[in-house]
Amino acid sequence: MLRYFSPGVWLLVILALGSSFLVALLPVTPRPGMVFWLFSRDHAMLSEHIAAQWNAQHPATPVQVTLLSGAALNSRMLTGFYADTPVGDLIEVERSVIGQIFAGPIEDVGFVDLTDRLEAEQVGDAINTPSFSPWTSRGRIFGLPHDVHPVMLMYRADLTEAAGIDVSQVKTWDDFFRVMRPLMGDLDGDGRTDRWILSGGPTALQFHEVFLLQAGGGYFDAQGEPALNSEINVRILSQLATWYAGPNRVTGELPVGPATSQLIMQGYVVSMLAPDWYAGHTRNNLLTMTGKFKLMPLPAWEPGGRRTSVYGGTMLGVTKASTYQSEAWEFAKALYLSPETAKGLYEVTRIITPIKSNWDQPVYDEPDPYYGGQPIGRLFINLAPNVPTRPSSPFYGNAQQELNTAVIALSRYTEDHAISDPTQLHAECRRLLNAAQAGLLRQMHRNVFLRRPAP
């Protein structure tokens, strides 16, 4: 073999083997206590404060708060669950990832089943009930909800008030577009629309579900079965297509990237869907817009209908790999149930807590100058009990992509045929959603643990 490799290669091999052997001989002293992985810088700051209090009272089981990027956390967590490599004792998980954790048999989920603890200690009764739904699989709860994320409508109060528009008239989406229509148009005379009424469009896939959930539809039914082609979805998506395209288009799609902020400041859209975290993000990053926005409940799809939806979410779970599961559970409660955490979370991010006993804190009633003096914390809390539930299917990402493909095709059909009446789209929408449903079922059938009958 010496003939095939140069001396330099053999030297590198010997050095690699020798260093590996020496590393293997080094003594490894396990760090005492628990490791907490999370991906939000703001919440890491709050968690470090609570962890310092915990560590002072529990020196034998201290908590080390470790901030990771979202991609790094997800990769290390899933690798740990699948390959039994080290993971944190506690991990915060974002909703878009949780389906992958629930993809196998229930007994192989990498997080501790908290259902019995929540019931025995009556912790579940203290938490906004719909907020558990993304973290529940096959009737078992695997995480404490970090948030509620009700959605409101953020609108340009400076523009509406200057135009004499009274938003108190708005009860339904039809009302909304009727009263806001004067604000939309070609502002510079070049024949192109410069201002749209609402942010959104066929490729803004994150918004389709917000509208569907508000109306009582969605990707899956309450039992977690795929429901892309439900009649509610047909009706709502047909309406959305006439908002996104055709002669009655009323939405402008904001791009992802630096141009977004500039377009918002220029008034490219009059209103945007705004969960609490987005209201906080806008407030913290577009300081020049102070006083120009206000919030209102979402217009209902029909009179008396739901005036909110939900977008996003995070949970805190205790990993099965932890040797401190009981202590980790106690720390999780100390962190998430704390009035101090709730107050700090709102002050920094405007995210409201799901812990009902913390909803009466005065901080939520404080006028917010950024939003024209509105007590936006109280506005979001008033909507919290009405957020829709969301089944936590492992096939969430697949369903999102299948439905988005259908929405893009339906919007193109709407544009090509210059359709303004959504009822004229029902047949085409139903055809596209039937194809999406079949595609989703084919993907689900490939999972031997969660197999559905093949279409």
pLDDT digits (tens, 9 = 90+) for 186-195: 888 888 999 9
Of all residues in the chain, the percent with pLDDT exceeding 90 is: 83
Q: What is the pLDDT of residue 27?
A: 56
Q: Do domains 34-149+312-386 and 153-310+394-445 have the same CATH topology?
A: yes
Is residue 126 within 8 Å of 338, Cβ to Cβ?
Answer: no
- Say if residues 227 and 391 touch (Cβ distance below 8 Å): no
pLDDT at 102 over 50: yes
Question: What's the mean pLDDT when you consider all of the chain?
Answer: 92
Q: How many angstroms separate the CA atoms of 29 and 27, rounded?
A: 6
For 359, residues 6+ apart whose C-beta sits below 8 A from its C-beta are 352, 353, 381, 384
> pLDDT band at residue 451, thresholds of 50, 70 and 90?
low
Checking if the pLDDT of 316 tops 50, the result is yes
CATH superfamily of 153-310+394-445: Periplasmic binding protein-like II (3.40.190.10)
Burial bucket for residue 219 (CB in 10 Å: 0-12, 13-18, 19+):
buried
Tell me, what's the pLDDT at 398? 92
Q: Which residue reads 């039914």 in tokens? A: 221
Torsion of CA 240, 241, 246, 248, to 10 degrees: -10
Q: Give the model's confidence band at 28: pLDDT under 50 very low, under 70 low, under 90 confident, else very high.
A: very low
Average pLDDT over residues 16-20: 72
The mean pLDDT of 59-86, rounded to a whole number, is: 95
Share of the chain above pLDDT 70, in %: 93
Q: What fold, for 34-149+312-386?
A: D-Maltodextrin-Binding Protein; domain 2 (3.40.190)
**pTM (2 d.p.):** 0.90
Give pLDDT tens digits for 290-309: 999 999 999 999 999 999 99
* Contact (CB, 8 A) for 308 and 383: yes
3 state SS of 370: helix
pLDDT for 86 beyond 90: yes
Pick from 326, 325, 328: nearest CA to 336: 328
- Domain boundaries, given as residue ranges, for the chain: 34-149+312-386, 153-310+394-445
Over its C-alpha atoms, the chain yields an Rg (Å, rounded) of: 25
